[in-house]
Amino acid sequence: METNTTSPPFPGSHSFNNSTCSRDNLLKTVVFPVLYSFLFLLGLVLNSVAVWVFFRIPSKSHFIIYLKNIVVADVIMTFTFPFKVLSDSNMASTGLRIFVCRVSSVLFYLTMYISILFFGLISIDRCIKTLRPFRGTNAARLVRRKLLSGAIWTFLLVLCLPNVILTCKTPTSPYFKCGDLKTEAGLYWHQVVNHVCQVIFWGNLVTVIISYTLITKELYRSYSRSTGGTISRAPSGASTRKPHRAKRKMSANVFLVLAVFFVCFVPFHFARVPYTMSQTQGFLFDCKLKLFFFQLKESTLFLSSLNSVLDPLIYFFLCKSFRTTLFKALRLAPGTCSRLTGRGSEDTVSTI
Q: What is the pLDDT of residues 302-327, one digit of tens each?
A: 999 999 999 998 998 888 889 888 88
Banded pLDDT at 13 (limits 50, 70, 90): very low
> Which of 12-16, 32-36, 232-236, 253-257 bottoms out in mean pLDDT, i.e. has the lowest?
12-16
Confidence of residue 41 (pLDDT cuts 50, 70, 90): very high
Is residue 347 pLDDT above 70, yes or no? no
- 191 confidence band (pLDDT: 50, 70, 90): confident
The whole-number pLDDT of residue 252 equals 64
Residue 331 has pLDDT above 90, yes or no: no
DSSP string, 92-103: S-HHHHHHIIII
Helices (H), 132-183: 139-165
333 pLDDT band, cuts 50/70/90, is low
> What is the pLDDT, as a whole number, of residue 122?
94
CA 212/CA 117 separation, integer angstroms: 16
Tens of pLDDT, residue by residue over 54-108, are 988 998 899 999 999 999 999 999 999 999 999 999 888 889 999 999 999 999 9
Q: What is the pTM of this model?
A: 0.83
Cα distance from N-terminal residue to C-terminal residue, the chain = 35
pLDDT of residue 21: 64
More confident residue, 4 or 236: 236
Report whether pLDDT(192) > 70. yes
Q: Ranked by mean pLDDT, which of 54-63, 108-117, 189-198 comes out on top?
A: 108-117
Output the average pLDDT for the chain.
Answer: 81
Measured CA to CA, the distance from residue 340 to residue 333 in angstroms comes to 12
Which residues partner with 233 through β-bridges? Answer: 239
- For residues 293 and 277, the model is more confident at 293
- The residue-averaged pLDDT of 42-49 equals 95
C-beta of residue 122 within 8 angstroms of C-beta of residue 66: yes
- Calculate what percentage of the chain has a pLDDT beyond 70: 79
Burial 119-155 (b: 16+ CB within 10 A, else e): bbbbbbbbbbbbeeeeeeeeeeebeebeebbeebeee
Burial class (CB in 10 A: 0-12, 13-18, 19+), 197: buried
The per-residue pLDDT for 7 is 37
Q: Per residue in 239-277, pLDDT tens?
A: 445 545 545 554 567 788 899 999 999 999 999 888 877
pLDDT of residue 211: 93
Q: Is residue 14 pLDDT above 50, yes or no?
A: no
pLDDT at 297 over 70: yes
pLDDT of residue 341: 55
Nearest-angstrom CA–CA distance, 159 and 157 = 5
Q: Which residue has the higher pLDDT, 231 or 311?
A: 311
pLDDT score, position 345: 35
Spell out the domains of the chain, with CATH numbers in brackets: 26-224+243-258+308-341 (1.20.1070.10)
Rounded Cα distance, 346 and 316, in Å? 16
The answer to whether 74 and 50 have CB atoms below 8 angstroms apart is yes
